[in-house]
């Protein structure tokens, strides 16, 4: 507690007399941790925290969900997924609804669980929904290698992994997104390394601080951001040195690059971002369901008052959406930001964000 009070006082001293400052976190775990620890309430009035596209489920496009549903409805297909994907709405339905209608959709707690399902159901096609950032992508890659080593031929990936750094570039090029610095994702940095974010300072002259997830670690990162602004310099600092190195997890990156290659990717609310996604290399095409058994889906232009895309860019807060807390609640989510436990809207709803400053 003493350290927390010291950090809060330091933040207040560094922020005193400055214009309004906005710092964006781009990690869903940070979003939840900030709410849970009450950090917003203890910051000076001129220091604002805004949530960015840090929830991989939230930034997954409708057409990916539509493909997953279409595969799940095919005979002799099993879809394996993490639980937070079940209620994410596609253009017409959700995996939860497809399951209720008879599709075989199974919740797993690790991609490796899908290998076991494939071995136990050799006459069926098993599809794992590989959704996530750099944090979980190496595990999906390791799962492909494990399936290959064990001779499992009925396991496939429907990939929608995304990369964080290219997204920060897009946010900084967006005139509607106004931030003075980034609270950078500790979990992602563990894999890709602190140096992967140096472009923020080198090219955009904007500050970044890699932070952990305890209250003191988040506050320490905020102190670093304010110190940089106070001195007039921009750099990327590593405030999570206990687990984050400059180069990251070399073994995880090696596995990732062995199975995947960089490609363009569609992000909800941000559109198609060059070199921001992953696809399996040709050597592993036999594990890519979209190449083994392509599926055509009818694109539907869904009309909705949901403003999840603007929330993900930090342009509006969740309570600015006309559906928030009314038609859109965790048990009946209209948009993905209310579905995942790391979704911005879900966090605001659970922790009473309507009463917090932003």
* Residues 66 and 159 reside in one and the same domain: yes
In a domain, 11, yes or no: yes
Question: Which residues lie across from 181 on neighbouring strands?
Answer: 23, 207
* Residues 157 and 257 reside in one and the same domain: yes
Query: pTM to 2 decimals?
Result: 0.92
285 DSSP 8-state letter: G
Name the residue among 212, 196, 185 with its Cα closest to residue 55. 185
Question: What tokens does 52 get?
Answer: 């960015």
Burial of 292 (0-12, 13-18, 19+ CB in 10 A): exposed
* Model pLDDT, residue 353: 58
Residues 140, 257, 263: CA angle, nearest 5 degrees: 85
* Model pLDDT, residue 263: 97
In a domain, 246, yes or no: no
**CA–CA separation, 39 and 219 (whole Å):** 8
Q: In the predicted model, what is the mean pLDDT of residues 134-154? A: 97
* Residues 74 and 43 reside in one and the same domain: no
* Residues 323 and 271 reside in one and the same domain: no
* Residues 70 and 143 reside in one and the same domain: yes
Q: In the predicted model, what is the mean pLDDT of residues 1-30? A: 91
Stated as kind and residue range, the H or E segment containing 198 is none
CATH of the domain at 137: 3.40.50.11740
* Model pLDDT, residue 4: 85
* Model pLDDT, residue 297: 85
pLDDT bracket for residue 97 (50, 70, 90): very high
* Residues 257 and 149 reside in one and the same domain: yes
In a domain, 357, yes or no: no
Residue identified by tokens 């994907």 is: 85
CATH of the domain at 26: 3.40.50.11750
* Model pLDDT, residue 358: 41
Euclidean distance between the first and the last CA atom of the chain, given in angstroms as a whole number = 24
| C-alpha 322, offset from chain centre | 24
* Residues 91 and 232 reside in one and the same domain: no
pLDDT bracket for residue 75 (50, 70, 90): very high
* Residues 95 and 157 reside in one and the same domain: yes
* Residues 21 and 145 reside in one and the same domain: no
Query: Residue 89: is its pLDDT beyond 90?
Result: no
| C-alpha 304, offset from chain centre | 22
Mean pLDDT over all residues of the chain?
Answer: 93
Query: Residue 245: is its pLDDT beyond 60?
Result: yes
**CA–CA separation, 230 and 241 (whole Å):** 23
* Model pLDDT, residue 357: 45
* Model pLDDT, residue 356: 44
Q: What are phi and psi of 328, to 5 degrees?
A: -110, 110
In a domain, 358, yes or no: no
* Residues 264 and 143 reside in one and the same domain: yes
Question: What tokens does 221 get?
Answer: 């990162």
In a domain, 170, yes or no: no
In a domain, 270, yes or no: yes
Q: Domain count of the chain?
A: 3
**Signed CA dihedral, 280, 153, 117, 258: sign only:** negative
Residue 94 makes CB contacts below 8 A (sequence gap 6+) with: 65, 69, 86, 87, 88
* Model pLDDT, residue 247: 97
In a domain, 69, yes or no: yes
**CA–CA separation, 160 and 112 (whole Å):** 17
Q: In the predicted model, what is the mean pLDDT of residues 167-178? A: 94
* Residues 80 and 150 reside in one and the same domain: yes
| pLDDT tens, residue by residue, 302-355 | 678 899 999 999 999 999 999 999 999 988 888 889 998 889 999 999 987 555
* Residues 45 and 13 reside in one and the same domain: yes
Alpha helix stretches (DSSP H) within 76-194: 95-100, 111-120, 137-149, 164-173, 186-192
In a domain, 299, yes or no: no
* Model pLDDT, residue 304: 80
Name the residue among 233, 242, 235, 173 with its Cα closest to residue 208. 235
Q: What percent of the chain shows pLDDT beyond 70?
A: 97
Largest CA distance in the chain: 68
Q: CB under 8 Å, gap of 24 or more: what pairs does 329-333 form?
A: 333/87, 333/89
Look up the domain containing 331 and give its range.
308-351
Residue identified by tokens 């952990």 is: 212
Q: In the predicted model, what is the mean pLDDT of residues 218-228? A: 97
Query: Residue 79: is its pLDDT beyond 50?
Result: yes
* Model pLDDT, residue 103: 97
**CA–CA separation, 271 and 214 (whole Å):** 32
Question: Which residues lie across from 107 on neighbouring strands?
Answer: 81
**Whether 59 contacts 310, CB under 8 Å:** no
Query: Residue 143: is its pLDDT beyond 90?
Result: yes
* Model pLDDT, residue 269: 84
Q: What are phi and psi of 339, to 5 degrees?
A: -90, -60
Length, in residues, of the chain: 358
């Amino acid at each position: 507690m003493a350290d927390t009070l010291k950090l809060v006082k330091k933040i207040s001293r560094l922020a005193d007399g400055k214009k309004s400052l906005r710092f964006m976190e781009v990690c869903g775990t940070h979003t939840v941790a900030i709410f849970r620890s009450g950090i917003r309430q203890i910051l000076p009035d001129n220091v604002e925290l805004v949530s960015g596209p840090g929830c991989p489920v939230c930034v997954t496009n409708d057409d990916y969900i539509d493909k997953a549903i279409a595969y799940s409805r095919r005979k002799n297909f099993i879809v394996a997924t993490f639980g937070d994907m079940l209620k994410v709405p596609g253009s017409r339905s959700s995996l939860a609804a497809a399951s209720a209608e008879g599709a075989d959709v199974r919740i797993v707690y690790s991609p490796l669980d899908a290998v076991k399902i494939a071995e136990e159901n050799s006459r069926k096609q098993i599809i794992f929904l590989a959704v996530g950032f750099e944090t979980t992508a190496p595990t999906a890659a390791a799962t492909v290698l494990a399936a290959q080593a064990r001779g499992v031929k009925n396991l496939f990936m429907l990939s929608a992994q995304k990369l964080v750094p290219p997204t920060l570039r897009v946010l900084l090029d967006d005139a509607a997104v106004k931030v003075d610095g980034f609270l950078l994702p500790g979990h992602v940095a563990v894999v890709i390394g602190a140096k992967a974010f140096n472009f923020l300072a080198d090219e955009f002259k904007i500050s970044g601080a890699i932070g952990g997830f305890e209250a003191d670690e988040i506050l320490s990162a905020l102190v670093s951001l304010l110190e940089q602004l106070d001195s007039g310099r921009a750099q990327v600092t590593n405030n999570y040195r206990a687990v984050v190195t400059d180069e990251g997890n070399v073994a995880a990156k090696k596995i990732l690059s062995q199975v995947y290659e960089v490609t363009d990717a569609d992000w909800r609310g941000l559109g198609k971002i060059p070199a921001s996604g992953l696809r399996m290399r040709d050597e592993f095409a036999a594990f890519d369901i979209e190449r083994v058994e392509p599926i055509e889906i009818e694109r539907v232009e869904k009309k909705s008052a949901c403003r999840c895309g603007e929330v993900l860019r930090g342009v509006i807060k969740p309570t600015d959406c006309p559906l928030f807390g009314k038609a859109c609640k965790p048990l009946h989510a209209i948009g993905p930001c209310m579905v995942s436990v790391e979704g911005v809207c879900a966090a605001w709803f659970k922790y009473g964000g309507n009463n917090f400053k932003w």
